[in-house]
A and B are shown apart, each in its own frame.
Chain A
Amino acid sequence: MIDHLSRRTLLKGTLATSAGGVVMNWGDLFHGPASVAAEASPTKKRCILLWMNGGASQFETLDLKPGARTGGTFRPISTNVAGAQICELMPKIAQQMDKLAVIRSMRTSEVDHPGGIYLMHTGYRPTANVRFPEFGAIIAKYNGREATDLPNFIKVFSQADAGAGFLGPKYQPFGIGPEGSLPPFSASSQSPEVESRRYQLRSFLEETYGKVHRAETSKMHREAYEASRRLQGVRKVFDIDTEWAKHSELYGDSVFGRRCLLARRLIEEGVSFVEVSQSSYDSHADNAVWHKALVPPMEHAWAGLLVDLHQRGMLDSTLVVWMGEIGRTPNINNRAGRDHYVRSWSTALAGGGIKGGQVYGESDATGVDVKDNPVTEGDFFATIYSALGIDPKKENFAGVRPIPLAPFGSKVVAELLGS
């Protein structure tokens, strides 16, 4: 195997660190692009993450406790799945329940925001020694397209910053602002003629330089530059104004609705992972009021997205993940708020690879603890990777250390998986 290692491959076996140093990524020497392509599932499912930043309350969304001490102000409503009820703030999602697998038994290990955001984007707790990649980067690596004008991993207003971690710059996310617009630096400030001349000169210099200096970082820089040039040709995908008039009712007239429509357009164009975030769920004060403000536009957009994907025949190949970094406490504090809670909370999956119309796991009568079928962060991500046709035990390497996609010991929740 070593015989086949070229100088280029050897150079590729290095990882740039945030401090500018370089550590050897020996493991990746045996897992180059060719083998990655072979490992990628032929189904190439895509994924949209709907991220509830700050941690939406399970008591005010998917796991109501009517009549319980901890139940709060909202009432449950029936859904289109017999016996399954959710919050009255979510009437549109209630009618899409047959597409959802709600998990009411999440038990995770990071109770605060930075750690929780990291955990629920990577599957791993933050450590000093390893920079774990976000699952968007992993999906970009295994289910992304090699030759594409659009990035494989796009975030619309995301708070997560783990990025591609040890997978390297190739899988780094492309970030878009809260209004769904491309960042200012993505367009050239020069006229097309000037830009073209600059590009020719730049290419000449790069080529000349590249013949002598074959460093991986230079290659990555060239690739990033080329990617940003290719992006110029598909900028229209990000302009949703023309389509918005037709879809504003379906997604709801909100900024989050616009973000969700953009996510659908990007997925339709072949992007393998899009994260769409809604802010402000950290309701330590006025929890009920905040959720009454936040949830209706969110659930409208979420339901609209599911309907749109379904109508376009894309839902079976697109996994839609709904979650935040934490749940919220059963107790209501004397600021009328609910605090952070990870002992028992809820998430939801829909679409590609998921068997909809079910509630998995159960919290106890007051929502204080998981009653049955606890799902850890590892189990959750193992299930997501499986649904997307990616083996969660697949290993990548941080230096010489093999790291499975989902943490060791994680279990795929088979009951959640379907067609």
Chain B
Amino acid sequence: MPDFTPQNPKQVWQLPFQNRNEGAWPMAVAFLGSDRRIAAGDRDGRLLVWDLAEPGDAPSLEQQQKTPGAAPAPKQSLVGHTNGISRLATTPDGTILVSASFDRTIRMWDAAAAPSGSVDVIVDHELRDAIAKKSGKKTDDATPATKVESLTSTHTLEGHKDWIDSLSLSADGRCLLTGDQSSLVIAWDVAARKERSRWSGHPWNWVVATALTADGETAVISEYRYKRDDFDIPCPALKRFHVADGAEQLDLLKVQFPKLNPKENTYGSAQVWRKFVANGLVALDISPDGKLVAAGQGGETDTGHVHLLEMETGKLVRTISGHQYGATDVKFTADGKFVISAGRDTVIRICQVDDGKEVAQLGKPRGGQFKDWISAIALSPDQRTLAATDIGGWVHIWTFG
């Protein structure tokens, strides 16, 4: 497995992925086999693929932001989802992209398939607005649109009856795990495209994050639900399961709070776990060796940290990172030495697992509460490129080393 080197991070690309619809910003990102092929999905169900040139050929970021045609245009539009795309994952060989959606389906896409047609997409509304403002004219939202290949999914996995918020793919590419907002978790056999097992959490809760061990045999599930009232606050859950049969193996939250009563929903009971969970442990990942789980505190909160917990015992090893207003995504590097986290503070932070020390910071806190947060991150298979989506409607690409 290649080592990750956090030195000399440099942002090389800034791809526009904007949408006129309110709140329809990009929420998911993944690499497709190489560090030059990227997919991102937004809350409108748009799923686009970009092919990038060599980083050395990239125009300056300012040019990409302000000059029409300077930023790479998407190459493909993967058509089919009818509501927001929450998470993306790619099989290790880079051939299959998997998308989870609020439309209650999971779709699988063959990245090398022949296009089914072509569609017009517009992704650069901000630039169009800026040009129109300069010229004193009305924004042109029609021409010239980018014509891209359209691709339909090869398979649709159905089984969820509510928004699918979370998706994980095992490192061996054989097991897929999805969780929805009715607290249902489904484990899928990727090759057969069939359910392996399913289980449910507390009926009031949502599955807000999932993580799988490399062999796909063990899962960690984070359940959370925003309050139903100030005095009706469901108890969250963080548990380890045996994937084959959905058997619960360990209640990691109960390890932290032995007196926790999952049935309690009072204001007082929420004070027990609130500091640890914040507004949901919305980002999870398991270290490549299967020994640690990283859980990021999300929702809008004071500072969202990342807890590192022992998989075997649930014991808290340390709490690292810190994103003002909350974390949104977390990833172990392939060598297991670093945790990369993203947050509402518009920053990506890279911390050492061994001592929690922050060794790099991508982006800068853009100040104030009312700024666009980073919604998702992905690391390329060679560990040399990182992609991140933000809710301002951009996909940022950094290289390392």
Contacts and interface: CB of A to CB of B under 8 A. Distances in A.
Interface in B259-282: 265
A72 B231 CA distance: 27
Given A293-B225, A336-B23, A73 B231 contact: no
Interface in A268-319: 278-280, 285-290, 292-294, 297
Interface in B348-393: 369-373, 391-392
A153 interface: no
A334 interface: yes
Contact of B228 (A75, A255, A289): A255
A297 B231 CA distance: 13
A146 interface: no
Contacts of B84: 73
A335 B229 contact: no
Contacts of B181: 292
Contacts of A280: 227, 229-230
B21 interface: yes
A10 interface: no
Contacts of A287: 23
A69 interface: yes
Interface residues of A, number: 32
A118 interface: no
Given A293-B226, A335-B300, A71 B21 contact: yes
A331 interface: yes
B299 A73 contact: no
A316 to B, nearest CB: 30
A333 interface: yes
B188 interface: no
A288 B344 CA distance: 17
Nearest to B232: A255
A74 to B, nearest CB: 9
Contact of B22 (A292, A297, A331): A331
A241 interface: no
A37 interface: no
B20 interface: yes
Interface of A: 69-73, 75, 157, 178-179, 254-256, 278-280, 285-290, 292-294, 297, 330-336
5 contacts: A279-B229, A287-B23, A289-B226, A334-B370, A334-B373
Interface of B: 20-23, 43, 83-84, 102, 163, 181, 225-232, 265, 299-300, 344, 369-373, 391-392
Enumerate the 7 nearest inter-chain pairs by beta-carbon distance, A residue then B residue, closest first.
A293-B226, A332-B23, A255-B232, A332-B22, A178-B231, A285-B300, A279-B230
